[in-house]
Amino acid sequence: MPDAIVLRGLTKTFGDTVAVRDFDLVVPQGALYGVIGPNGAGKTTTIRMILSILLPDRGELSVLGHRSAMEAKDRIGYLPEERGLYKRMRVGQFLTYMARLKHADGADLRTRIRSWLEKVDLGGVENKRCEELSKGMQQKVQFLAAIIHRPDLLILDEPFSGLDPVNQRLLRELVDDEHRRGATVLFSTHVMALAEQLCDHVVMIHRGDKVLDDEIGAIRARYDPRNLLFEPLDPAADVSALAQIEGVALVRRDGAAWDLTLAPAASPAPVIQRVAAAIAPARVELRRPSLEDVFLNIVSAVSASGDDATLRAAVRDNGNGRREPRP
């Protein structure tokens, strides 16, 4: 089975700016890949090159076994970041048009459109003009336009931006459905928490360079957790004993809980036992590194100029999933 996407040494410059530099990527068929990185990292440029909307200056690519996405357009679904609708067109007409452009105008197209609209809670809007819909509704229609022809490869550029939590979840389920159906999914986001929840493989881009390309599980394993999260059963409990426990190097308050940094040589399991024995816990757990942490880790390693707070802000969408604020 050929890989869905293969990129080799892809480079694209705009004037003096190198948008993407020597980019290699292999996405196997049936995978669910997330491309993450802050705004301006080169995600959209990469996606546009995959789709042959932009031509790379250098490098080779293959999409669904073809030398160019042009030859496989009908098998690809694409939701661009800059998405729009024909304002005066009716929703049903628009979806029919998009399906016909993808050569998917079977006899059952009308029924299919209607059932899709119902599935995303848009039953009855078929004859409304696109401009009459709310922004969230328009976004759902745009997503339907990307999948109406049952693509083998689904490429979504920032699919979750601008959606409320309810619709974010709906969209996540739809993407999952497509993935389960067998479609290869590649999506980009600057919100790392979303990628963490959704995909099984992550590619990180920073300033046009690929800085990470790995399975979520492998990433987690590689970035060995060195912190524990501890929350006492009794919020008023005296926690001064924590600092004395063997293997704990540093104790910091983190909201209602405490963040314990392990001593350099300490193994987590005995420390957890000792903590639980010292003070009755509501919860004590290994603090897994989030993608955000991993990203910051990598970026500060590759570029000394990394301003931590700025980068953190760039990859975090307020209210979109971080569990707790970090000091």
- Quick one: which segment of 83-91, 187-195, 274-282, 306-314 binds another protein (CB under 8 A)? 83-91
Residue from 139, 142, 189, 290 binding another protein (CB under 8 A): 142
Asked if 88 is part of the footprint of another protein (rule: CB under 8 A), the reply reads yes
Residue among 94 and 295 whose Cβ is closer to another protein:
94
Name the 3-class secondary structure at 148.
coil
Residue from 46, 56, 61, 78 binding another protein (CB under 8 A): 78
3-state secondary structure the chain: CCCCEEEEEEEEEECCEEEEEEEEEEECCCCEEEEECCCCCCHHHHHHHHCCCCCCCEEEEEECCECCHHHHHHHEEEECCCCCCCCCCEHHHHHHHHHHHCCCCCCCHHHHHHHHHHHCCCCCCCCCEHHHCCHHHHHHHHHHHHHCCCCCEEEEECCCCCCCHHHHHHHHHHHHHHHHHCCEEEEEECCHHHHHHHCCEEEEEECCEEEEEEEHHHHHHHCCCCEEEEEECCCCCCCHHHHHCCCEEEEEEECCEEEEEECCCCCHHHHHHHHHHHCCEEEEEEECCCHHHHHHHHHHHHCCCCCHHHHHHHCCCCCCCCCCCCC
Asked if 17 is part of the footprint of another protein (rule: CB under 8 A), the reply reads no
Structure tokens that stand for 292 in this block: 């955000």
Asked if 75 is part of the footprint of another protein (rule: CB under 8 A), the reply reads no
- Quick one: which segment of 73-81, 207-215, 229-237, 252-260 binds another protein (CB under 8 A)? 73-81
Residue among 98 and 137 whose Cβ is closer to another protein:
98
Shortest distance, CB of residue 117 to another protein, whole angstroms?
17
Residue among 54 and 286 whose Cβ is closer to another protein:
54
Asked if 101 is part of the footprint of another protein (rule: CB under 8 A), the reply reads yes
Shortest distance, CB of residue 44 to another protein, whole angstroms?
10
Asked if 180 is part of the footprint of another protein (rule: CB under 8 A), the reply reads no
Residue from 97, 110, 172, 239 binding another protein (CB under 8 A): 97
Residue among 79 and 272 whose Cβ is closer to another protein:
79
Asked if 249 is part of the footprint of another protein (rule: CB under 8 A), the reply reads no
Give CA–CA dist 273/298, Å, rounded: 32
Asked if 84 is part of the footprint of another protein (rule: CB under 8 A), the reply reads yes
Residue among 101 and 218 whose Cβ is closer to another protein:
101
Residue from 76, 163, 248, 275 binding another protein (CB under 8 A): 76
Shortest distance, CB of residue 79 to another protein, whole angstroms?
8
Residue among 102 and 206 whose Cβ is closer to another protein:
102
Q: Are 323 and 293 in contact (CB under 8 A)?
A: no
Residue from 2, 9, 86, 218 binding another protein (CB under 8 A): 86
Euclidean distance between the first and the last CA atom of the chain, given in angstroms as a whole number: 47
Binding site for another protein (CB under 8 A): 48, 51-54, 70, 73-74, 76-80, 82-89, 97-98, 100-103, 142, 145-146
